[in-house]
Amino acid sequence: MKCFKNATVYVDGEGLVNCSLAFDEKIEKISHLGIAHGDVIELPEDAIVLPGFVDQHIHGAGGSDGMDGTVEDIAIIAKTIAAEGTTSFAVTTMTQSPENITKAMEAVKAYREANSDEGARVVGIHLEGPFIAAAHKGAQPLEYVKTPDIAAFDAYNEASGNAIRIVTLAPEVEGAEAFIKHLTEKGIVSSIGHTGAKFTDIEKAVANGASNVTHTYNAQTALHHREIGTVGSAMIIDELNCELIADTIHVSVPAMRLLVKNKPINKISLITDAMRAKGIPDGVSELGGQVVYVKNGEARLEDGTLAGSVLRMNRAVQNMVEKVGVPFLLAVDYATINPARILKIDEEAGSIKIGKRADFTVINANYDVLMTVRGGKIIYQA
């Protein structure tokens, strides 16, 4: 048994409290009176114990990408993002050839079957493309964009060991309605993204089960007073959870404030949408066979198109608090329990509660990650 003694902890239903926390693989005891037994893990005075961060949309880190299609590359991503407090993530793919997507699916299956306890836990796959709108492809390669194809999806899902949890798609393209219904029947999240959808398209998609918006504001129709598009629909349809890249590059601070003001508190998920250049020095990188230039925290294609981010989740939380003005614990919820619900792991992760997995992020007053614990094991320590 391990123990944080007399620590400041974000306890589910109680907020920030001073308590002792005993755990093995799961959380065994939360005591306001102290815990006499267990191996005490010493923490600095300003340390705050939070639930482990959950990233539902991340492509890569540490020089590796989920589309590299190897167990070794997934392991590098998992270990790299542990340093930012992430304990669970969805390996996110992109629009590519069927062969490359299948290879990525098979790698995730092999990685999960190996059951590694190093780095963050892979809880599934976010299939971002190829079923998107060509006109809103963003940094996705145009030649591989496809209309929704149930048979192709089922083949990908089978190759992954049924690990696909989220599918980004454009609801206005031909075949999307049947595709969304198919995903809903399988319990998989349909996420509206890389799309030219209008309000009526999104209203229909939600009626068929769509429940998430991929990197809200980016690569989708903007708000207009005569057609509110994807952005406006995301704000007024409460059922839709909104992903947000809170790096102040992909989305401005006022735009983030607008989203926060319009969404229920349980309907925003912070994502990093990070690519392989996260965690390594600035320079030339790659995304889907395209050259990416990384400088001063921005990752762009040669034509200036944003190509994912190098954002760290702890800094996303910090930006929400210090720049957007979100209360601290709500910003933490955006990075923990909200994405855990989308990935359907909220019964076991996303908050600190007896019986849940011992997944913790320990930060200081500057939002620096001091320690990351996954399933009771320290996977990162500063």
273 annotated active-site = yes
Q: State the angle between helix axes of 150-159 and 98-114 in degrees (0 to 180), rounded to the nearest 10.
A: 30
Between CA 216 and CA 268 the distance in angstroms is 10
Query: Measured between alpha carbons, how far apart are the two ends of the chain, in Å?
Result: 22
- Residue of 73, 201, 273, 359 marked active site: 273
Alpha helices in 214-300 (DSSP H): 229-236, 253-262
Polymer length in residues for the chain: 382
> Is 33 exposed, middle or buried (CB count within 10 Å of its CB: 0-12, 13-18, 19+)?
exposed
User: Of 123, 89, 22, 17, which Cα lies nearest the Cα of 358?
Assistant: 22
Between CA 257 and CA 310 the distance in angstroms is 22
Q: Which residues contact 106 (CB under 8 A, 6 or more apart)?
A: 69, 159, 160
The count of other CB atoms within 10 Å of the CB of residue 43 is 18
Tokens of 232: 């406006």
Alpha helices in 95-252 (DSSP H): 98-114, 150-159, 176-185, 199-207, 229-236
Catalytic residue list = 273
